[in-house]
Amino acid sequence: MIRVDFNPADFERLVGEKGYEVIWKKHCYCPCRRDTTGQSKIICPLCGGRGDIYFDPLPIRGIVIGAVQAVEQLKVPGRWERGTATITVSGKHQISFYDQIILQESTTAFSELVRHHDDRPDKLNYHGLEVEFARTESTVFDPSLDMGLDGDGNIVWQVGRPKPDDGETFVVRYQFHPIFIIMDLNHAYRDTIIRRKYGVETPVNLPRSAAMQLDFLIGERR
């Protein structure tokens, strides 16, 4: 434990006034990973082949620095950015390595290839908020007329409108809430002791600060 001249109540007020609304999801490795190599199954209903699962989504607030700049810089043609940011949250939220932080007050664009299936919605890697562009090699679709998004943010095609053939691949660009992965903790274990009346000391968790990176820039991170 360390002693610092810090008032946790002041920080809680700061987070409430200046913090971003985010969703925090805890990380765990998927049980599909091989215990010898750590590799995950290519097809897994739990993790989708990534080898990671996330659970206990919780709305919290955090002081985020650098996230807006990182997202905006990714839109500059020809410029490579690592898409990093830092977040500081209340000590009661024990964020840890590889946890997810989803920024609820920001959006950014993502493009991907999707294989169409007539019998189900076309699943996107992220929860889509708005489709900006979609096409096959031969057909350009109108996002406002030909398709929509279901409650899970996946693409559903409108009856009677143009759509890809069953099994055909199309490309789509859409907006979503940026997802960051916590890559480092500035203070992995951080607490202090507050002295109360009559000499009683009470341990208190101090705010946690972490470095994080945009999910789609990380790739094979470990």
| 180-222 pLDDT, tens digit each | 999 998 765 555 555 555 555 666 677 888 999 999 888 644 4
CA angle 82, 178, 93 (to 5 degrees): 100
Residues 6+ apart with CB under 8 A from 54: 25, 26, 27, 28, 99, 100
What is the CB neighbour count within 10 angstroms for residue 194?
13
Q: Give the lowest-confidence range in 21-30, 46-55, 149-158, 195-204.
A: 195-204
Could you tell me which of 172, 127, 132 has the C-alpha nearest to residue 152? 127
Backbone φ and ψ of 213, nearest 5°: -135, 150
Higher-confidence residue: 149 or 17?
A: 149
Contact between 86 and 101 (Cβ < 8 Å): no
- Which CATH code of 3.40.50, 3.30.300, 1.10.287, 2.40.10 fits the domain covering 8-106+177-218? 2.40.10
Q: Among the listed ranges 6-10, 100-104, 140-144, which one has the minimum average pLDDT value?
A: 6-10
pLDDT classification of 174: cutoffs 50, 70, 90: very high
In the predicted model, what is the mean pLDDT of the chain? 84
Task: Tokens for 159, please give them.
Answer: 């009856």
Alpha-carbon distance of 43 to 36, in angstroms, equals 18
Smallest CA-to-CA distance from 118 within 159, 167, 153 is with 167
Distance CA 32, CA 217 (A): 23
**pLDDT for 202:** 63
Residues of the chain with CATH 2.40.10: 8-106+177-218
Q: Is the pLDDT of residue 116 over 80?
A: yes
The pLDDT tens digits for 7-41 are: 777 777 888 788 889 999 999 999 999 888 888 88
Distance, first Cα to last Cα, the chain = 30
- pLDDT at residue 4, as a whole number: 52
Looking at residue 48, its amino acid is G
The H or E element spanning position 112 is strand 108-115
Distance CA 128, CA 33 (A): 28
pLDDT at 160 over 50: yes
Angstrom distance (rounded) from CA 177 to CA 129: 8
